[in-house]
């Protein structure tokens, strides 16, 4: 018995000695990590060639689809020289007041392989030089093809090969609650993608543009985003970001974009005809109020009341009179002045359209042939 115990004890001793030797000299043989000072550490890393597929609820595919076609726009403008700068006494007291360059920042969207870019008019208005920066770091000088201050849109053109182009969506199919992304270059920090929903449609009477039909969104839009893209979850262009409501200058969750349906009409008009041709009938419209209705003796609860008619204008020739209430234009109901302006502007000049009019208590259908809307003279901002 003592002999068996001795053999057992010697065997255990030999095994423990062998374990310590292996653990010290070859720890990897028994699966123990190496220990040392500033050598290397073992990490579990995904293979470099592995790409992460978008998960449910991710907008990465839409961002990849649209982002390359969204560009940054840098503008420069020479500041007006002080007219007193040539006076020797003025220079003596205040020094030489040389002209200084004013810099501007915005965004744009490449909408054609030919190099046409949509942006806001206020981004490029009055600029002496316009530089476009693509996401692949290419820089190029752009020229203004045309502007449309009434919608605050402008069309630029660049000459480069292999341009990324965004896909135009159908903004008329948008619904309140749809998810959207805003892409642009806020504050010049670089291209940024923010997400939100469509908060409202058909926003007007904001006093921003002559023709207003904005998409409202809570996707963060900040200075520098102007002219950038509002896209749907498929990366299709739904609007051109143009304005925000803010008390601080930054995003407060109320941003506005021009629908792509409007932007497309402006783009085609500027590129093909050099201007946007809009209908015009020559009237002075006002919101229908109980006071105006009583003044003109009209009984109406919907429409736009006409308080003035241009002599020999399209409306006068068609028989429209002061006091008439326009309720419908080309089979489209109108409820306020903004809707009337937009409906008339959408008419093709020279093509007759039917206007539904309420004159006191009589309903009339008048055939009006709109003329070409005059180009307004606007001061430089």
CATH code, domain carrying 126: 2.40.10.10
Q: Which of 226, 251, 338, 342 is catalytic?
A: 226
Output b/e per residue, 299-317; b: 16+ Cβ within 10 A.
Answer: ebeebbbbeebeeebbbeb
Any domain includes 207 = yes
Any domain includes 134 = yes
Q: Contact, 213 vs 256, CB < 8 A?
A: no
**Is residue 125 located within the same domain as residue 188?**
no
Any domain includes 43 = no
**Is residue 199 located within the same domain as residue 262?**
yes
- Looking at the structure of the chain, the number of domains it has is 3
Q: Which of 67, 72, 107, 122 is catalytic?
A: 122
Determine how many CB atoms are found less than 10 A away from the CB of residue 338: 22
**Is residue 268 located within the same domain as residue 287?**
no
Last residue of a domain, one of 252, 273, 294: 273
**Which residues make Cβ contacts (< 8 Å) with residue 219, sequence separation at least 6?**
180, 181, 182, 194, 195, 196, 197, 230, 255
If the chain, 381 residues long, is cut into consecutive pieces of 10 residues, what is the mean pLDDT of each piece?
Answer: 63 66 54 42 34 58 92 82 61 57 85 93 89 92 91 92 91 91 89 92 77 87 88 93 72 84 90 87 90 84 90 92 92 87 88 92 91 66 38
**Is residue 181 located within the same domain as residue 260?**
yes
**Given this model, what pLDDT does residue 82 score?**
57
Its domain, for residue 368, covers: 279-372
**Given this model, what pLDDT does residue 180 score?**
94
d(CA 66, CA 165): 8
**Given this model, what pLDDT does residue 57 score?**
66
Q: Which of 148, 152, 218, 324 is catalytic?
A: 152
**Is residue 295 located within the same domain as residue 240?**
no
Report the SS3 class of residue 243: strand
CATH number of the domain enclosing 339: 2.30.42.10
122 in catalytic set: yes
**Is residue 180 located within the same domain as residue 268?**
yes
**Is residue 317 located within the same domain as residue 368?**
yes
**Is residue 250 located within the same domain as residue 321?**
no
Query: What tokens were used for 164?
Result: 């990324």
**Given this model, what pLDDT does residue 221 score?**
86
**Given this model, what pLDDT does residue 39 score?**
39
11 in catalytic set: no
Q: How far is CA 244 from CA 214, 249, 305, in A?
A: 11, 9, 31
**Is residue 213 located within the same domain as residue 307?**
no
**Is residue 309 located within the same domain as residue 338?**
yes
**Is residue 269 located within the same domain as residue 175?**
yes
**Given this model, what pLDDT does residue 376 score?**
60
Report the candidate in 232, 85, 251, 112 with the shortest Cα–Cα distance to residue 172: 232
Beta pairing partners, 329:
332, 355
**Is residue 216 located within the same domain as residue 292?**
no
Output b/e per residue, 270-293; b: 16+ Cβ within 10 A.
Answer: beeeeebbbbbbbbebeebeeeeb
152 in catalytic set: yes
**Predicted TM-score (pTM) of this structure:** 0.69
**Given this model, what pLDDT does residue 83 score?**
60
């Amino acid at each position: 018995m003592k002999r068996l115990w001795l053999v057992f004890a010697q065997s255990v001793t030999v095994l423990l000695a062998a374990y310590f030797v292996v653990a010290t000299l070859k720890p990897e043989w028994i699966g123990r990590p190496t220990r040392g000072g500033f050598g290397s550490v073992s990490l579990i890393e995904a293979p470099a060639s592995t790409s992460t597929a978008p998960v449910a609820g991710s907008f990465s595919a839409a961002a990849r689809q649209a982002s390359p076609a969204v560009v940054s726009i840098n503008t420069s403008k020479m500041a007006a020289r002080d007219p007193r700068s040539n006076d020797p006494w003025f220079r003596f007291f205040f020094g030489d007041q040389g002209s200084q360059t004013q810099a501007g920042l915005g965004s744009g969207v490449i909408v054609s392989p030919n190099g046409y870019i949509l942006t806001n008019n206020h981004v490029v208005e009055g600029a002496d030089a316009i530089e476009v920066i693509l996401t692949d770091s290419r820089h190029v000088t752009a020229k203004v093809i045309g502007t449309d201050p009434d919608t605050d849109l402008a069309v630029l053109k660049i000459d480069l090969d292999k341009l990324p182009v965004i896909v135009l969506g159908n903004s008329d199919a948008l619904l309140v609650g749809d998810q959207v992304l805003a892409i642009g270059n806020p504050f010049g920090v670089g291209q940024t993608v923010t997400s939100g929903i469509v908060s409202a449609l058909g926003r007007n009477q904001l006093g921003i543009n002559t023709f207003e039909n904005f998409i409202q969104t809570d996707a963060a839009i900040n200075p520098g985003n102007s002219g950038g893209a509002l896209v749907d979850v498929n990366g299709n262009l739904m609007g051109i970001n143009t304005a925000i409501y803010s008390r601080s200058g930054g995003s407060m969750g109320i941003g506005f974009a021009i629908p792509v349906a409007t932007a497309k009409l402006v783009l085609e008009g500027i590129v093909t005809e050099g201007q946007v041709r809009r209908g015009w009938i020559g009237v002075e419209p006002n919101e229908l109020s109980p006071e105006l209705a009583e003044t003109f003796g009209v009984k109406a609860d919907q429409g736009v009341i006409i308080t003035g008619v241009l002599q020999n204008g399209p409306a006068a020739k068609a028989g429209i009179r002061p006091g008439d209430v326009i309720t419908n234009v080309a089979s489209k109901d109108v409820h306020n002045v903004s809707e009337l302006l937009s409906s008339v502007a959408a008419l093709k000049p020279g093509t007759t359209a039917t206007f539904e009019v309420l004159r006191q208590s009589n309903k009339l259908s008048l055939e009006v042939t709109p003329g070409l809307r005059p180009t307004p003279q606007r001061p430089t901002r």
